Chains A and B, each alone.
Chain A
Amino acid sequence: MEEVISKNATNYKELLRNYMESQDEQALYGVEKVSKAFIKNNILPEEIVNLHIQAMAEVCNDLTEDYKNSMNFLLEAMIFYGLAMQEIPLLREEKHILQSEISVAASMQKTLLGTNKPEINGMDIGVISVPAHQMNGDYHHFVKGKDGSLGIAIADVIGKGIPAALCMSMIKYSMDSYPEESMSPKSILKNLNRVVERNVDPSMFITMCYAHYQPQESKLSFSSAGHEPGYYYNAETDTFKEFETRGLVLGVSPDTEYKEYEMTINKDDMVILLTDGVTECRDGDRFIESQEVLDIIKKYSDLPAQEMVENVYKHFERLQDFQLRDDFTLMVLRKNS
């Protein structure tokens, strides 16, 4: 450090002299290089002021006492900047440690909560889930029953980041412990509600939609616990309809009962499930209305379901001032035979 300072001291003095004589641009460029070298070597700001005081004493021989005093005063003021600056490398290192811990947690979450998109006869499934930060507070899960039926869960835990992600593991393990085939969406939600109510902080809660599809009868039954409503696309009439599902979010009231809805799905019909990260997308200050989301889904509806959801996400990502404020999960189920 001392070496860098003394190596540059003469240089600084010459540059200063040049500048005082001719206000030479070249000198300004030179001093920029000097200060960059100082920053690179973690030299504190007060050292530069000190260097300046010494250089001025040599360059000018008519310095007033007032000037000298003022420079000493400035030197004192700069010391505190120096102290603050010394903390930066330490903070950087701490940040680095935290970041690597979070990325370990995030990859562990991926493993723990991973779900495979199942092959279901006659059903084309597409799903995309993008976290706003490293850890995803959205969750989706598929369970294929022995009878060929399909259980689908989509959930959003309120509260973002790490606590949310941890909470999701609890949901996943509770669901894994249920004998899926024997349980209806409404009883799954009723059970999960009790688990969440007993185990999480009062300000945390979970919204979830659970659906159960039986391919033989083309029947979909579903229940919602305060989850962002999905949509049903009727191919025959070429219209979207919002699911009018009611139900209290999980984790608020221990004895909540959930309603179950049922519908038949015909060829080329689609069921669209999503989280509020989709409906609360923003383009700058503008909210993206749900009609716009549906229009985009419609636009890509000729594609296979997986390409469809990926293209819908890409569409929003391309918007100029798009920022993902919340985790984004979009799922499309299309009956194709």
Chain B
Amino acid sequence: MNLTVNVVEENEKSILNVVGEIDAYTAPKLKETLLPLTRAEGKIIEVNLENVNYMDSTGLGVFISALKSTKESNSKLMLVNLQERVLRIFEITGLDEIMDIKAAIRGGNE
């Protein structure tokens, strides 16, 4: 199972393109890239999950610690283009109500 994460800087915004599966083995890689970004004061971090079709609860843990970190440094975390299966995990856990999340357009990239 592979995961690639690349970062594109766009003015005040960092866009993280994540491709692959986020699970216990790959989550540390995401965490290593994501967490330092959230520590920059006032930054917007957009995580593009369009090409992630599987994420387990370890992945949620990474996003939760990122969210907590943004609150300390006044940065902002946005998750965009979530596939249905991934979105469902955020909904079940109630995290969709405390995080900025946008689903992928249905039928878009399945």
Contacts and interface: CB of A to CB of B under 8 A. Distances in A.
B102 interface: no
Interface string B49-68: 00000101110111011011
Contacts of B31: 203
Interface stretch (A16-24, A105-113, A142-150, A153-161): A153-161
A248 B98 contact: yes
Interface string A190-203: 00000000000111
Nearest to B57: A158
Nearest to A156: B57
Interface residues of B, number: 22
Contacts, number: 61
Contacts of A228: 92
B9 interface: no
Interface string A233-250: 000000000000011110
A280 interface: yes
Interface in A87-129: none
Contacts of A10: none
A205 B64 contact: yes
Interface residues on A, range: 20 to 34
A205 B61 contact: yes
Contacts of B67: 252
A335 B24 CA distance: 38
B95 interface: yes
Interface string A259-284: 00000000000000000100010000
B11 interface: no
A279 to B, nearest CB: 10
Contact of A246 (B61, B68, B69, B94): B94
A226 interface: yes
Contact of B24 (A156, A160, A246, A248): A160
A316 B4 CA distance: 31
Contact of B94 (A159, A202, A247, A287): A247
Given A203-B65, A205-B61, A249 B56 contact: no
B10 interface: no
Contacts of A203: 31, 61-62, 64-65
A22 to B, nearest CB: 50
A207 B60 CA distance: 12
B93 A248 contact: yes
A156 B61 CA distance: 13
Contacts of B61: 158-159, 203-205
B95 A226 contact: yes
Contacts of A326: 56-57
B75 to A, nearest CB: 15
Most buried by B among A160, A203, A247: A203
Contacts of A287: 54, 85
Nearest to A159: B61
B64 A207 contact: no
Interface in B57-108: 57-58, 60-62, 64-65, 67-69, 85, 92-95, 97-98
B103 to A, nearest CB: 17
A198 to B, nearest CB: 13
Given A160-B24, A202-B64, A226 B58 contact: no
Contact of B93 (A160, A226, A325): A226
Contacts of A45: none
A151 interface: no
16 contacts: A156-B57, A159-B58, A202-B64, A202-B65, A203-B31, A205-B60, A205-B64, A226-B94, A229-B92, A248-B93, A248-B95, A252-B68, A252-B95, A252-B98, A276-B56, A326-B57
Interface of A: 156, 158-160, 201-205, 207, 225-229, 246-249, 252-253, 276, 280, 287, 325-326
Given A205-B60, A326-B56, 7 more contacts: A158-B58, A160-B24, A203-B64, A226-B92, A226-B93, A249-B93, A249-B94
